[in-house]
């Protein structure tokens, strides 16, 4: 019954979370630069109406670039390459502002190591011919960057700030556009990868989030609900079992895919480690795999070891559900998607919990009624195997 609904929800969430491919607002305008600078390629970057023009000389791996974005005349503009991570920390940054004589644009270098005030200093990338200009309402940075051999993509980070105090660029705004201003630039294909909604890492994180929220966070709890409550209804007898097994197998398969995307993200994020999230994820994979064996090791209903199988299957199962939901929330905390995603997940979990509570009550009513039927109607042959099972172990599902 709910299966189709959940697949629908899955695809709905999946499609909505994928960044839209719509073009950025500001296309690569036909700019002309001072000193007859020309570049072979231009990409409109997905945030802050920024664009990057460049020429990459493959033989010398020298990247000549111009970075441009609208900025207040007394503000600043930053372009950075982050060799180690995909965010601000670790960025090897060029910042332009009007700090020279009679308002000339100066460009300085900053090794960003914290979210505190920036400090000018040497940076870990080889830059030369650094310059800046302010044209119209647009700030521009020029530089030549010597790339490592074979480099075809760089992690770009960029930013616009409102003001400069005593020669130090002041903190930028924290609007969504500011926080999202980073992405991988493919220097060969000439595109900012994953334009529109962010960057390829963000996109991978979103896919990771959706896969895991749907599998560990929704399908597995749903499968447990099916097993626990549907078996009370005699008419659903073999059906509940197949539904339960299919739901958990699909959940496990999607979950393993999500888990693999998580490992991949973890190996790429050298700078930052989300230890708890990662450890819970590894535990979940291990327990989920142990649970998979339950299917093959299941003794017959009347087998003397069945009790132990029940204990193992149920304790591992409930642990997986609790840890799964906890880790979805941990992941939401890390990914910080728009609030509506967290709210949507909370709504789904509350609906599942509501269904579980309702069915728990219904189950007890049915079980108690069967019990009283049985005690009043002495030798009542109608209470077959199903009925007896229902009476004796209403909670062992
Ligand atoms: C930038 O700062 C980090 C952290 O303090 C340091 O490890 C690194 O060597 C610095 N890079 C340069 C070029 O100074």
Express each pLDDT in 49-104 by its tens digit.
898 999 988 888 899 999 999 999 999 999 999 988 878 889 999 999 999 888 89
Shortest-distance Cα residue to atom 7 of ligand 1: 113
Query: How close is the Cα of 362 to the center of ligand 1, in Å?
Result: 63
Would you list the DSSP string of 52-92?
EEEEEETTTTEEEEEEEEE--TTSEEEEEE-SS-SSSTT-E
From residue 241, how far is each of 49, 70, 227, 353 by CA, in Å? 55, 61, 7, 21
Under the banding of pLDDT at 50, 70 and 90, the label for residue 46 is confident
Specify the CATH superfamily of domain 27-194: Cellobiose dehydrogenase, cytochrome domain (2.60.40.1210)
Query: How close is the Cα of 261 to the center of ligand 1, in Å?
Result: 30
What are the pocket residues of ligand 1 if the criterion is a CB atom closer than 6 Å to any ligand atom? 111, 113, 122-124
pTM reported for the whole predicted model: 0.50
Residue 170 tokens read as: 């002041």
Q: Is 244 annotated in some ligand binding site?
A: yes
Share of the chain above pLDDT 70, in %: 83
Is pLDDT of 231 > 80?
A: yes
Predicted local distance difference test score (pLDDT) of residue 199:
55
Q: Which residues contact 342 (CB under 8 A, 6 or more apart)?
A: 329, 332
Query: How close is the Cα of 111 to the center of ligand 1, in Å?
Result: 6
The residue that leads in pLDDT, 388 or 183, is 183
Shortest-distance Cα residue to atom 9 of ligand 1: 124
Average pLDDT over residues 309-315: 93
The best mutation among 83, 84, 113, 115 to test binding of ligand 1, ranked by most ligand atoms within 8 Å of the C-beta, falls on 113
Predicted local distance difference test score (pLDDT) of residue 7:
46
d(CA 153, CA 88): 17
Q: Which CATH code for domain 199-374?
A: 1.20.120.1770
Residue 248 tokens read as: 């958990």
From residue 320, how far is each of 3, 20, 212 by CA, in Å? 20, 33, 13
Shortest-distance Cα residue to atom 4 of ligand 1: 113
Average pLDDT over residues 298-320: 92
Where are the domains positioned within the chain?
Answer: 27-194, 199-374
Q: Is 172 annotated in some ligand binding site?
A: no
Looking at 2-11, 105-114, 127-136, 305-314, which range is the least confident one? 2-11
Predicted local distance difference test score (pLDDT) of residue 186:
84
Position of tokens 């020309």? 38
Under the banding of pLDDT at 50, 70 and 90, the label for residue 267 is confident
Is pLDDT of 294 > 80?
A: yes
Is pLDDT of 12 > 50?
A: no
d(CA 203, CA 46): 13
Shortest-distance Cα residue to atom 10 of ligand 1: 111
Q: Is 277 annotated in some ligand binding site?
A: yes
């Amino acid at each position: 019954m709910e299966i189709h609904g959940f697949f629908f929800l899955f695809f709905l969430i999946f499609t909505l979370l994928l960044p839209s491919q719509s073009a950025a607002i500001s296309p690569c305008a036909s700019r002309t630069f001072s000193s007859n600078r020309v570049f072979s390629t231009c990409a409109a970057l997905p945030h802050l109406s920024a664009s990057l023009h460049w020429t990459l000389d493959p033989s010398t791996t020298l990247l000549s670039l111009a970075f441009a974005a609208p900025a207040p005349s007394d503000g600043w503009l930053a372009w950075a390459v982050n060799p180690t991570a995909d965010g601000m920390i670790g960025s090897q940054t060029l910042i332009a502002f009007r700090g020279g004589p009679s308002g000339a644009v100066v460009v300085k270098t900053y090794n960003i190591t914290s979210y505190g005030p920036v400090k000018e200093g040497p940076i870990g990338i080889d830059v030369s011919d650094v310059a800046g200009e302010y044209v119209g309402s647009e700030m521009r940075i020029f530089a030549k960057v010597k790339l490592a051999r074979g480099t075809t993509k760089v992690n770009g980070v960029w930013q616009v700030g409102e003001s400069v105090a005593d020669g130090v660029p002041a903190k930028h705004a924290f609007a969504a556009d500011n926080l999202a201003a980073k992405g991988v630039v493919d220097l060969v294909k000439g595109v900012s990868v994953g334009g529109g909604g962010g960057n390829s890492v963000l996109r991978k994180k979103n896919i990771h989030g959706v896969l895991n929220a749907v599998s560990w966070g929704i399908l597995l709890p749903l499968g447990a609900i099916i097993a626990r409550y549907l078996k009370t209804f005699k008419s659903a007898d073999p059906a509940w079992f197949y539904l339960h097994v299919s739901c958990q197998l699909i959940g496990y398969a999607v979950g393993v895919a999500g888990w693999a995307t998580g490992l991949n993200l973890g190996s790429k994020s050298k700078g930052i480690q989300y230890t708890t999230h990662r450890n819970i994820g590894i535990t979940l994979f291990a327990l989920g795999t142990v649970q998979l064996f339950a299917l093959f090791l299941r003794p017959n209903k009347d087998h003397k070891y069945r009790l132990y199988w029940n204990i193992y299957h149920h304790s591992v199962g409930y642990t997986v559900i609790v840890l799964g939901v906890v880790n979805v929330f941990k992941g939401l905390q890390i990914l910080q998607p728009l609030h509506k995603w967290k709210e949507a997940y909370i709504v789904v979990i509350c609906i599942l919990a509501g269904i579980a509570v309702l069915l728990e009550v219904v189950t007890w009513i049915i079980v108690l009624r069967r019990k009283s039927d049985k005690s009043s109607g002495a030798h009542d042959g109608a209470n077959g195997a199903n009925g007896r099972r229902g009476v004796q172990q209403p909670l062992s599902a």
